[in-house]
């Protein structure tokens, strides 16, 4: 079994968004997450490549889940693109 990698991800709030751009990033916006998280796996699938250990993700993707709770759970747990 391979080791779980950590990936750096930006935590953004509305304060960090201006005219469609990411602004005012500080160390407080950076978090490490497991490479096995849903959002990291989704970005890897979208980019058709695996992130390297300790790589900082410098892009973002917006995910809209269904308003129907059961459909949203299915999208979250079974894959947003399925």
Residue predicted with more confidence, 64 or 22: 22
72 occurs within a structural domain: yes
CA count, 13 A, side-chain hemisphere, 48: 0
Encoding tokens for residue 14?
């509305």
Average pLDDT value over all residues in the chain: 77
Asked whether the whole model's pTM tops 0.95, one would answer: no
63 occurs within a structural domain: yes
67 occurs within a structural domain: yes
3-state secondary structure of 28: helix
| Domain carrying residue 11 | 6-78
Count of structural domains, the chain: 1
Q: For the residues 54-71, what does the mean pLDDT come to? A: 78
pLDDT higher than threshold 70 for residue 31 = yes
55 occurs within a structural domain: yes
pLDDT band at 51 (very low <50, low <70, confident <90, very high): confident
Contacts of 71 (CB under 8 A, 6+ apart): 65
1 occurs within a structural domain: no
Q: For the residues 19-32, what does the mean pLDDT come to? A: 84
* pLDDT reported for residue 1: 38
């Amino acid at each position: 079994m391979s080791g779980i990698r950590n990936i750096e991800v930006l935590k953004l709030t509305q304060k960090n968004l201006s005219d469609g751009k990411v602004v005012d990033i500080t160390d407080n916006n950076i978090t490490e997450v497991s490479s096995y998280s849903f959002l990291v796996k989704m970005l890897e699938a979208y980019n058709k490549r695996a992130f390297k250990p300790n790589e900082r993700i410098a892009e973002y993707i917006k995910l809209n889940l269904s308003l129907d709770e059961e459909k949203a759970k299915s999208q979250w747990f079974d894959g947003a693109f399925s």
